[in-house]
Structure 1
Amino acid sequence: MDASSPPRYRRFSRPGPAPQSADLPAYTRRNTLAQPIARREPVEHIYPLSDSKGRPWASLSLMSSAKSGKSAPTFFEKENINGSFQLTAEKGDSIQSVTVNVTGRIITGSSLDDTYVFLNQSLSLWSKTESRSSGAATKLLGTCHWPFSIPLPKAVSLKDSGDDTLYRLPETFLERHTRASVSYELSVLVSRGKLRADSQIKTRFGYIPSTRPDPPSLLRQLAYRENSLLPGPEVDPVGWKTSPTAVVRGTIFKTRQAAVHCMLSLANPLSYTRGTVIPCRMILESNDSQALDMFSCPSAPMVTLRRCVRFQNPLTSTKREVDWIESYEDVSRAVLWPATDGNEAPYSRSLEGEIKLPKDIASSSSIGRFTVSYTVVVSSFETTGFTPSSSQPILAEPVTIATTHARDCPRPLAYAPPAYAPLPVPRHHNDFYASPATLRVGR
């Protein structure tokens, strides 16, 4: 029999109806997901600069969308970096120029060679040379104040690396246990003559791109608007992406072999806003009723959202190939329950569920040597008495994590019954691989 297609089963193998799961408790469906957040009022961040005696003589002020002035400045796509710089110049201070610099870097190690600059913008606030050519005063004296507004580009090209592809600016990415990071920095440089030291104020800031999923199917939108059940793949085939059938093989109670056919469906399109959920369905089929009962327990399937951070480290590369380093982490696990609309045959079980996406999960991004990607993985079944014959992932489906909601669409609803608490995430945290230009799914 072809392992890629489900087997044909006899209608009954034992008298009586197929075993049914316990009825779910009655509950009222609630929208517990992230609601659209009104853009915060700008907050001010102030960074003073003091002389050797502790007296402040310059300060940088930034207005941003951060939670508070004590947090790092945060800017969204299409927002300008608005701020001002102020200094007090004394007589004899040989200031030559005042320049604002905005830099975006990919950092893959501790060496300077492990840093790649993908964004570099400069804005001159004042220059002695420019003042001379315009007939203005060529020396600064007293309190000087310069407001500025710097637009960030939506995309950049990496021409110095021979790559003319346009890349959307990636989201700030900095995690303690991951080697690679994406960092943005703003600095103000006060340049002086050769006999005087330059002065600089700098701060890191967060950047959040505006990425949206495509609209869900019309039937799924209708379900969200009417607060009704999501239609399954049989009713709404456009609204779901169903995987090919996979066969899970193993040993039950160390005495006999068993095989269960598994299909996973994810809500289409395969792009989801963080802070919401990934709706999922699972169909299990087998002529082994005991194995089917074991596998269809809602806590048995190990369905997770797996993140892969993939980057290049030039120092470890050979002349013939560039090594990619990959770090995997399971960031969220699906909550499943018996399907409420399942028309189950005696040797078929249906589960429905969702994978809750943390509000602060990093969005999908790719720029040159750095990529953050996600895959929904069925890695195993955790049920007492079953030993799988393979540790490889059973099913894997790439998905995209966006930062904002689909345009002009109802917000997704959470359908998990209150009794079904989030399950613990398996500890596949930050396993590192080095491979020549190949991307592996799973471990």
Structure 2
Amino acid sequence: MDSESDLPPYSPHPAPTKTDLSAHTATLGDNATGPFVTLKVLSRVSSPRSPTFRDGEAITGSIEVGFPKPETVEAIEVGAECRVWDSTYYTILDGDKILDVHTTVWPAKISSPSSNSPLVSSPTTKHRPEKLQGRLSFPFSLELPRQLTLKKGMTATQYYLPPTFRESGSPFMTQYSLVARIRRGIFHTDYQLSMIFIYAPSLQPSPAAPLRQTARLDDKHLLGIEDESEGWMTLNPVVIQGTMFGLRPIQMEVTLSVAAPLSYTSGSVVLCSLTLDSADGEALDLLSSPTIPKVCIRRQFYSPPYKFHADDDVAHAVWRHKESSMQTLQKRYLEGEIRLPVDLKSNCVFRDFTISYSLAMLPFEAAGFSWQGKHEPFLTQAVEISAC
């Protein structure tokens, strides 16, 4: 079996406490006058509309059924499914579903009915339809696998489960759902109820450098590159060439440093530092203004089968001047931070699509300055994002 050798490590989040959970419900039918099925799920409170689960978290809840009169029931099941669709809502992978994890809660796990919820006929075999009447509730718990194996021809490849994904303009989407089924046997129509949920796998970010961890715990100012050089990665310098006011050619060397390791959590702050070096003092003053340097976190979507590639900048650096003992007439120093959105998805490598991130320095734009070159990033550096 082949495997993705460069897959990032995954680590489960701590189990949420009861105070962290919210209930989501969906109902089929009228629970006042007719047969009904209610699916109740407990999840994190990160989405008001859909339950949300991380890798390593159990999906827990209950199925409540109500039958005013005896109803033939063969089995009551609940399952978690994942489908991958293309833009025309046809599946792009072999088979209809890439994931189907389900459990039978009745008859295998039936509990004693209350006095006002009589069981008309006690089940004696799992395969024989029985009749149920009244209100009954069945708890359930499902665990999603962290990985699955997909086959293409004679090759089997293992992947981590992809996140819920639906972006404007993308030719594909992934959708997870919980499905409750009341199987009623032959000559009877099954009852089926679905609830969409969000799946957000998370990477395990590497720990920050020791001094920065101590500063954070002690509520001190975050440390710069001069205070803790081993906690930073300095990228190769970029040489910018251009003209001032269309007359005077200038050259400037720009060096970007970023907090290491290059693995960050959504909702966190990425620290960065910028050094500008030039013999032209006027150009140095102009381009070292905090509003001029453009550094961002860029997200990339790839789908080779669809020849699809899209980039979008999800967060930008905010700069300020920094006094430095190394400062000279030919150098300026800026320190900055990039605040990552809380809803960023983790890096993902899946069969027909990839989600990745990079740190990008974009061309500087300033009145009176024009650079020589294409409108492309001066530099890019791959980074990893972990969903919080």
TM-score interval w.r.t. the shorter chain?
0.7 to 0.9
Measured at CA, do residues 63 and 266 of structure 1 come closer, stay the same or move farther in structure 2, by a change above 3 Å?
A: same
User: Where do residues 381-396 of structure 1 align in structure 2 (5 Å cutoff)?
Assistant: 381-390=364-373, 391-396=375-380
The residue that corresponds to 2:51 in the other structure is 73
1:109/1:115 contact within 8 Å kept: no
What SS does structure 1 have at the residue aligned with 2:131? coil
CA distance in 2, matches of 1:327, 1:135: 51
Partner of 2:239: 247
Secondary structure, in 3 states, of the residue corresponding to 1:287?
A: coil
Alignment CA distance shift 1:156-1:345 (3 Å):
same
Give 2:103's aligned residue.
Answer: 123
Q: Percent identity?
A: 31
Which residue number in structure 2 is paired with residue 434 of structure 1? none
Asked if 1:378 corresponds to 2:361, the answer is yes
Aligned-partner SS, 2:241: strand
RMSD, aligned CA: 3.1
Cα pair distance change 1:221/1:141, threshold 3 Å:
closer
Structure 2 partner of 1:58: 37
**Alignment match of 1:204 (pick from 196, 199, 207):** 196
Q: Secondary structure of 1:220's partner?
A: helix
Count residues in correspondence: 357
Quick one: which of 140, 158, 183 aligns to 2:150? 158
2:383 is the alignment partner of 1:403: no
Q: Is 2:316 the partner of 1:333?
A: yes
Alignment of 1:273-292 (within 5 A): 273-292=265-284
From 11, 18, 21, the counterpart of 1:42: 21
1:96-135 aligned at under 5 Å gives the runs 96-114=74-92, 117-126=97-106, 134=125
The more displaced of 203-212 and 380-389 is 203-212
- Asked if 2 retains the 8 angstrom alpha-carbon contact of 1:212 and 1:403, the reply is no
Structure 1 unaligned regions, length at least 5: 1-35, 313-321, 405-443
Structure 2: segments with no counterpart, 5+ residues: 1-13, 109-121
Instruction: For 1:121 and 1:47, locate their aligned partners in 2 and report how far apart those are by CA, in whole Å.
Output: 20
> Which residue matches 1:306?
298
* Bigger proportion of residues as strand: 2
Q: How far does residue 161 in structure 1 lie from its aligned partner after superposition?
A: 6.8
Shift of 1:76: 2.8
Cα 1:164–1:235, aligned 2, differ >3 Å: closer, same or farther? farther
The alpha carbon displacement at 1:246 in A equals 1.4
Q: 1:229–1:91: structure 2 CA closer, same or farther, 3 Å change rule? A: closer
* 8 A contact 2:180–2:193 mirrored in 1: yes
Q: What SS does the corresponding residue of 2:213 show, helix, strand or coil?
A: helix
Stretch of structure 1 that moved more, 293-302 or 96-105: 96-105
Flag the 1:56–1:139 CA change in 2: closer, same or farther, 3 A: closer
Pair 1:252–1:80, CA change in 2 (3 A):
same
Cross-structure match for 1:83: 61
With over 3 angstroms needed to count, the CA separation of the structure-2 counterparts of 1:359 and 1:302, relative to structure 1, is same
Deviations 1:209-238 (A, max 9, x none): 343311111222233234444444355332
Question: CA separation in 1, counterparts of 2:51 and 2:217?
Answer: 36
Matched residue type, 2:104: S
How far apart, in 2, do the equivalents of 1:225 and 1:126 lie? 50
Alignment deviations for residues 332-385 of structure 1 (CA, whole Å, 9 cap, x no partner): 110011123352122121111111112222232222223221111111112111
Q: Which amino acid aligns with 2:300?
A: C
Taking the TM superposition and a 5 Å limit, the aligned residue runs for 1:420-431 are: none
Do 1:248 and 1:260's aligned partners in 2 also have CA atoms closer than 8 Å? Answer: yes
For CA contacts below 8 A with separation 6 or more, give which structure has more relative contact order.
Answer: 1
Q: Distance in 2 between matches of 1:364 and 1:268?
A: 17
Deviations 1:23-76 (A, max 9, x none): xxxxxxxxxxxxx9985443222222117x9734222222222358x6311223
2:356 counterpart of 1:365: no
Distance change in 2, residues 1:213/1:286 (3 Å): same
Amino acid across the alignment from 1:388? W
5 Å-filtered alignment, 1:311-326, equals 311-312=303-304, 322-326=305-309
Aligned twin of 1:141 = 132
Distance 1:357 1:343, change over 3 A: same
Distance in 2 (CA, whole Å) between partners of 1:93 and 1:77 is 38
CA distance in 2, matches of 1:340, 1:158: 55
Alignment of 1:158-177 (within 5 A): 158-159=150-151, 164-177=156-169
Q: Match of 1:213?
A: 205
Contact 2:78–2:104, Cα closer than 8 Å, also in 1: yes
Residue 135 of structure 1, CA deviation: 7.9
